[in-house]
Chain A
Amino acid sequence: MHKLGRGHRDKLQQFITITGASEKLALQALKASDWHLEGAFDFFYSQPQLKTFTDSRHLEELYNRYKDAYVDMILADGITLLCNDIQVDPQDIVMLVLSWHMKAGTMCEFSKKEFIEGLQSLGIDSLEKFREKIPYMRSELKDEQKFREIYNFAFGWAKEKGQKSLALDTAIGMWQLLFAEKQWPLVDHWCQFLQARHNKAISRDTWSQLLEFAKTVGSNLSDYDAEGAWPYLIDEFVEYLNENGIIQNDLINDSSLKR
């Protein structure tokens, strides 16, 4: 440890803090990327996760701790208890990441299969390991590809069972939660626009294309193509921004940020 220079030591510590990886893995990733943090993240996430052995009996115990008294699933109360045990707020976005690992079909519910297989894939069979894994799961949101997967997973997870669209209020809540991680400057305008002009449920296509829009179109919208394949609602949003002179303000803000 003391063999490393101070810069390297700082980077190692930073990497461990963000990813929750072991020092050994962190060191391996940083060396492979020539001590560039971003490259190290890419390396780390591209490695197949070593499937840690998990104790089935312990998993059963965990499941039974949280499962509902009457139904063979974990419901809202169980999830609340779980959050309490792992010291995470139920509203924390890391719960979405966890649900994604578990392939949860719907919000506030985990079937036994989802719960046990999810924890196995994460190498968790105890509360201690669960708590240790939280930073790792949180750091997965930094990876662009995983963020996209989690973002698109969120749609099915958050919508009402049997519905095809996502209720507007729920969608807005999810967007605010997700874009807190991704820093899209127009997210507040988007939510205001939806409440002012749309007031209806959100389709899956609009949901997934909004992320592409946020990623590919600059915040001054100079490269927006209204003739392109963007969903109709996004076309309306761009019109709304232009009508209200919001683009100009954001252009100024954007310049400020760059300066």
Chain B
Amino acid sequence: MERKIIDFDQGWDYMQKGITKLKRILEGAPETPFSSEEYMMLYTTIYNMCTQKPPNDFSQQLYDKYKDAFDEYINTTVLPSLREKHDEFMLRELVQRWLNHKVMVRWLSRFFHYLDRYFISRRSLAGLGAVGLTCFRDSVYMEVRVNARKAVIALIDKEREGEQIDRSLLKNVLDIFVEIGMGEMDQYEQDFEVHMLEDTADYYKSKAANWIEIDSCPDYMLKAEDCLRRERDRVSHYLHSSTEQKLVEKVQQEVLVIHANQLLEKENSGCHALLRDDKVEDLSRMYRLYHKIPKGLDPVANVFKQHITAEGAALVQQAEEASSNQTTSGSGFQEQVLVRKFLELHDKYMAYVNDCFMNHTLFHKALKEAFEIFCNKTVGGSSSAELLSTFCDNILKKGGSEKLSDEAIEDTLEKVVKLLAYISDKDLFAEFYRKKLARRLLFDRSANDDHEKCILTKLKQQCGGQFTSKMEGMVVDLTLARDNQLKFEEYLRDNSHVNPGIDLTVTVLTTGFWPSYKSFDLNLPSEMIRCLEVFKGFYETRTKHRKLTWIYSLGTCHVTGKFDTKNIELIVPTYPAAALLLFNNADRLSYSEILTQLNLGHEDVVRLLHSLSCAKYKILIKEPNNKVISQNDIFEFNHKFTDKMRRIKIPLPPADERKKVIEDVDKDRRYAIDAAIVRIMKSRKILGHQQLVLECVEQLGRMFKPDIKAIKKRIEDLITRDYLERDKDNPNTFRYLA
């Protein structure tokens, strides 16, 4: 059957009826829904009009008419309804019109579907859906976007002020901005977002300017935190998710960044005050607020550092004042209190770093730099290196001033080792520590072997094996020495013809592990000489090629003093013991006679005579009877001496070994600098002065901070000793001489 030709006017007239019906439905007029028959007829009409032979193929005309349908509806119905409304009401109308428009696009697209399948495809024209949306965008959106934006922003500001608004309305409006972009965010971003962000900035600029004047720092931060939370809420409720980062940054900029200095420096509530008053919660909030902002934490870290530095400096100041008030300057009690306070300070602020500041590297660095400042001060003439080593000594020795459980000791030692990281003169600490370790080990004053080993392990972990190798050697020496003593006693039992005459205990030490000790050729009493020869004979049976050097100054003797009332056992160092034995053969001796017979230096003789005649126990009577040993003095055995105890210990007055340690360390440093320079130049062969100094400081920095002048002196000395020379053409450059 041949299909009847539909002319354009006839066909379009039919379509018009369908479109009119659709419009009435959209406008809410009483209208029956499209039946399937009506739908099919409308579709078929388009189909027929597009498939008739030219000149009756009306595809192009229909395509144009499709667009015209929208334009006509928009111009006659949509725009007038929008133009008569304002603000929120206009927004509601807009949302409704957009919904309606999408329905219209959907239905008309179905009616005109055949165009999409063939005509539009062949001609590469915009699809029906796109044409529909474009109509709305170009006619409606372009006209209302400014007012819509303003209305939306106004509602946002209302919500910021605490008023209730219709959030779903805003979401729907903003969805229009997004959808109108048809897959791109340009419309949303340029027509709405950028303006909203600007408004946000203005809003918070005004708010912050007010808050910063009237609020305390904590209150301000609470508000800032609340603002950020609420802006994030806004995004989750009705803004596009891509806006969140930008929005947050705006708020941060206006509320946190611009007023950062003023906020942090508020007189009684700023960062400094919060630290002073231990406002942990507020400081945590400060961290949370600022840590996402580039450079945001820098001022906080800076105040943190300054605060710790000030607290540390105050502790140093207190200790310095207390130290100068101490009647017995040698006790060093105040200095020990200082170390304890440093440990507490470190615990406190490390907790801040870990908890308030979430282990952020900036705060670790601030803490480190602060401690490096005050931990390197001198107090009461003692460097911090010395103070720390003394503190360790008090913990580790028997009868020390600290009474701690094993667990507490280990914990404290761990913290001391951490504190050592901040001290630039670690080599000085090592030397002082070794000196005191030696005394604990040699005079059996160490309270616990495990603790001694424990701290060495910790020091090794932190400072490296080279730092602790000598100390470990010392501990091993003591173990070997005990074993050696057992062998000696066995040797004496097995060789009855060998008789030392008196009991002898010897501790064999390895030179190099131990601090250097003076080794005088003390004139020993004959009783003692025999002992040494017996031991030497024993030692030679165990090793043929080692040399024994006796260090009498470290020895202890038990001497029976026969006094008029009773015998008393005297426990004395070797030097005083040797002096006492001189009085077996003479009742009175002059200073110079004692000096000559003992073959000791003046310094040692003065010390030992002081301990015997001027201290608590006056075994010798001194003429004249005063407190100062002079070279014209005469000494006499005090037959009348007595004491309620049967055994007394007579120590030597403590020698000031600080100077010696410091001299030893200075000498070691010269060697260390020389070695570093030679090492560097050996690998580089030719190097400029600045670079050499730089690398030298770098290499040595783990142990001590070399003075530039000291390095220059060593360079000159190495030039003199022909390790280095200056380049002939450039005196700022050095050459290594093989």
Listed in ascending order, the chain A residues whose CB lies under 8 Å from chain B are 164-165, 203-206, 208-209, 212, 227-229, 231-232, 235
Contact = CB atoms under 8 A, between A and B. Distances in A.
B472 interface: no
A205 B716 contact: yes
6 contacts: A164-B720, A203-B720, A205-B719, A227-B690, A231-B716, A232-B713
A205 B726 contact: yes
Contacts of A205: 716, 719-720, 726
B242 interface: no
B731 interface: yes
Contact of B731 (A212, A232, A235): A212
Contacts, number: 37
Contacts of B545: none
Nearest to A213: B731
Nearest to A225: B732
Interface size class of B (residues with CB under 8 A): 10 to 19
Interface string B700-738: 000000001100110010011000001000011110000
Interface in B663-716: 688-690, 708-709, 712-713, 716
B710 to A, nearest CB: 9
Contact of A229 (B713, B720, B732): B732
Given A205-B726, A209-B731, A231 B720 contact: no
A129 B116 CA distance: 120
Given A212-B731, A229-B731, A229-B732, A203 B709 contact: no
A122 to B, nearest CB: 26
Nearest to B713: A232
Contacts of A208: 726
Contacts of B733: 229
Interface of B: 688-690, 708-709, 712-713, 716, 719-720, 726, 731-734
Contacts of A227: 690, 708
B718 to A, nearest CB: 10
B443 to A, nearest CB: 43
A203 B716 contact: yes
Contacts of B709: 232, 235
A198 B690 CA distance: 25
Contacts of B689: 228-229
Contacts of A164: 720
A206 B716 CA distance: 8
A200 to B, nearest CB: 12
B279 to A, nearest CB: 45
Please indicate which of the listed interface residues A206, A228, A235 has the most CB atoms of chain B within 10 Å of its own CB: A228
A168 to B, nearest CB: 15
Contacts of B688: 229
Contacts of B719: 203-205
Contacts of A232: 709, 712-713, 716
Contacts of A235: 709, 712
Contacts of B720: 164-165, 203-205
Contacts of B690: 227-229
Nearest to B731: A212
A155 B438 CA distance: 49
A124 B208 CA distance: 96
A242 to B, nearest CB: 16
Nearest to B688: A229
Residue from B690, B716, B733, B734 having most chain A Cβ neighbours under 10 A:
B716
> Binding site of B, secondary structure by majority: helix, strand, loop or mixed?
helix
A209 B726 CA distance: 10
Nearest to A227: B690
A164 B731 CA distance: 20
Contacts of B713: 232
Contacts of B712: 231-232, 235
A227 B692 CA distance: 12
Contacts of A204: 719-720
A203 B732 CA distance: 17
Among A165, A205, A227, max chain B CB count under 10 A is at A205
A165 to B, nearest CB: 7
Given A203-B716, A206-B716, A208-B726, 16 more contacts: A164-B720, A165-B720, A203-B720, A205-B716, A205-B726, A209-B726, A209-B731, A227-B690, A228-B689, A229-B731, A229-B733, A229-B734, A232-B709, A232-B712, A235-B709, A235-B712
A185 B713 CA distance: 26
Contacts of A165: 720
Nearest to B721: A164
B716 A228 contact: no
A214 to B, nearest CB: 13
Contacts of A203: 716, 719-720
Contacts of A229: 688-690, 726, 731-734
Contacts of A228: 689-690, 732
Contacts of B716: 203, 205-206, 231-232
Contacts of A212: 731
B615 to A, nearest CB: 43
Nearest to A209: B731
A232 B710 CA distance: 9
A225 B524 CA distance: 60
Nearest to A232: B712
Nearest to A165: B720
A165 B717 CA distance: 11
A227 B693 CA distance: 10
B204 to A, nearest CB: 49
Contacts of B734: 229
B720 to A, nearest CB: 5
The 9 closest A-B pairs by CB, nearest first: A229-B689, A229-B732, A232-B712, A205-B719, A203-B720, A232-B713, A205-B716, A231-B716, A212-B731
B555 to A, nearest CB: 41
Nearest to A216: B731
A203 B690 CA distance: 21
A164 B717 CA distance: 11
A228 B720 CA distance: 19
A178 B690 CA distance: 31
A206 B720 CA distance: 10
Nearest to B726: A205
A227 B708 CA distance: 9
Nearest to B732: A229
Nearest to A164: B720
A224 to B, nearest CB: 13
B233 to A, nearest CB: 58
B729 to A, nearest CB: 12
Contacts of A209: 726, 731
Nearest to B689: A229
A212 B709 CA distance: 20
